[in-house]
Amino acid sequence: MTAELINWILGGLSIGSALMVVFSKHPIRSVLYLIVTFFLVSGLYIMMNAQFLAIVNIIVYAGAIMVLFLFVLMLLNLNKATEPKTPLLVMLSSVGAAGIFVLVLIAALKDSFIQKSGQVAGNLNAGMVENLGELLFKKYIVPFEISSILFIASMVGAVLLAKREKPIID
């Protein structure tokens, strides 16, 4: 029962902080709330016995990507609430659409057919590092190596894009 309670608390908090990401005025706050969300989600991962991903999530997302966001924000000094106000109509229709969307999603998935017998043959320790390492370096070794090419490509792309060139004159 305790575990279920923790799950509920973590879930509720993550929804709350996710909402704060969307509705904070200052981008810095959005980033910080997003980091909080990632921590909460990582907590959920731990609750699901997926320790490896929990750690990776924190290190890569919260530690690297979010720091990158923060870095860019501060570099460009964007922490002013310069964003124009969203028109009320857009706001209303967006919230309405999102509300309907979540309702439809939940309604559709609530009773969806889930194979109940799957967990019988399953491995309790599927999310452990040892198990994932086996999978990653045997079955998924080729995609793993290819992802390094993706990184190089994105690195080159980022450098090329961000390099200061002659100012473009319109």
Partner 1 sequence: MNPTTTNLSASIEFYILLSCVLFTIGALGVLVRRNMIVLLMCIELMLNAVNLLLVAFSTYYGQGDAQIFVFFIIVVAAAEATVGLSILIMAYRNNKSTDVGLFKTLKD
Partner 2 sequence: MTIDSIVLILIALPLIGALVNGTIGKKLPNIVVGTIATSVMLASFICAVLVFSQFQKTQLIHLFSLLKLDGFQLNARFQIDALSIWMTMIVTGIGTLIHLFSMGYMSHDKGYYKFFTYLNLFIFAMLLLVLGSNYFVLFFGWEGVGICSYLLIGFHFSDLEKGISNSIAARKAFIMNRIGDAGLLFGLFLILAQFGTLEYLDLARLTGPGHGVAQTMLIGITLCLFLAATGKSAQIPLFTWLPDAMAGPTPVSALIHAATMVTAGIYLVVRSNFLFELAPFTKDIILYIGLATSLVAAFIALRQNDIKKVLAYSTVSQLGLMFVALGMGAYTVAIFHVTTHAFFKALLFLGSGSVIHAMSDEQDIRKMGGLAKKLPITHATFLIGTLAISGFPLLSGFYSKDEILGHALAANPLLYGILMVSVAMTSIYMFRMYFLVFFGSFRGGEKAASHLHESPLIMTLPLMILAILSVFGGILNLPGLFLHSGAHWLNDFLSANTAGLNLLLAEHLAASTTLILMFVASAMTLLILIWAYINYAKKQKLALADEELHGWQLWSNKKLYIDELYALVFVKPIEFIGTLFYSNFDIKVLAKGVYSFAQLFSKLGGVTRKWQNGVLSSYLFWMLIGLISLISYYFIKLQVWNF
Residues 58-97 within binding reach of partner 2 (CB under 8 A)? 90, 93-94, 97
Nearest to 30 by CA among 79, 87, 64, 75: 79
Q: Which two tokens stand for residue 60?
A: 């890569």
Among 15, 65, 98, 135, binds partner 2 (CB under 8 A): 98
d(CA 20, CA 7): 20
Report the partner that residue 47 touches, choosing among partner 1, partner 2, none (CB closer than 5 to 8 A by kind): partner 1
Give the closest residue to 30 by CA, choosing from 20, 38, 15. Answer: 20
Report the partner that residue 9 touches, choosing among partner 1, partner 2, none (CB closer than 5 to 8 A by kind). Answer: none
Taking the complex as a whole, how short is the minimal distance between the CB of residue 34 and partner 1, in angstroms?
5
> In angstroms, what is the minimal distance from the CB of 82 to partner 1?
8
- For residue 113, the minimal CB distance to partner 1 (Å) is 12
- Among 75, 107, 121, 142, interactor with partner 2 by CB under 8 A: 107
Name the minimum Å distance from CB 104 to partner 2.
5
Give the whole-angstrom CA distance, residue 147 versus residue 5: 38
Name the DSSP letter for residue 48. Answer: T
Please, are residues 35 and 67 in contact by the beta-carbon 8 Å criterion?
Answer: no
Count CA within 13 A, CB hemisphere, residue 74. 7
Smallest separation, CB 73 to partner 1 (Å): 6
Q: Is the CA virtual torsion 118, 3, 22, 28 positive or negative?
A: negative
149 binds, options partner 1, partner 2, none, Cβ within 5 to 8 A by partner type: none
Judged by the rule CB under 8 A, the positions of this chain that interact with partner 2 are 90, 93-94, 97-98, 100-101, 104-105, 107-108, 111
